[in-house]
């Protein structure tokens, strides 16, 4: 019950953003490879930020 109002840490926010970018990149890859590559690059930048927090 107390976890309902717990704020997400910066790392948790970044992990969600990373997963979302990967999902978007996968969906777009079937239609637009260039856009997919751009999203993958953005996901990699987020992954680097996550690593720097460790």
Please write the tens of the pLDDT for every residue from 16-25. 999 999 999 9
Within a domain: 35: yes
Within a domain: 32: yes
**How many domains in the chain?**
1
Residue 2 has pLDDT above 70, yes or no: no
What pTM, to 2 d.p., does this model score? 0.81
What is the average per-residue pLDDT within 10-14?
A: 93
Within a domain: 3: no
Within a domain: 28: yes
Within a domain: 40: yes
- The 3-class secondary structure across the chain, one letter per residue, is CHHHHCCCCHHHHHHHHHHHHHHHHHHHHCCCHHHHHHHHHHHHHHHHHHHHHC
Domain containing 22: what range?
A: 8-53
What is the average per-residue pLDDT within 21-38?
A: 95
Within a domain: 2: no
Task: Give the model's confidence band at 4: pLDDT under 50 very low, under 70 low, under 90 confident, else very high.
Answer: low
What is the average per-residue pLDDT within 7-32?
A: 94
């Amino acid at each position: 019950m107390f976890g309902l109002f717990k704020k997400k840490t910066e790392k948790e926010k970044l992990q969600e953003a990373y997963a979302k970018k990967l999902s978007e990149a996968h969906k777009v890859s079937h239609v637009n490879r260039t856009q997919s590559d751009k999203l993958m690059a953005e996901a990699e930048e987020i992954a680097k930020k996550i690593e720097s927090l460790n």
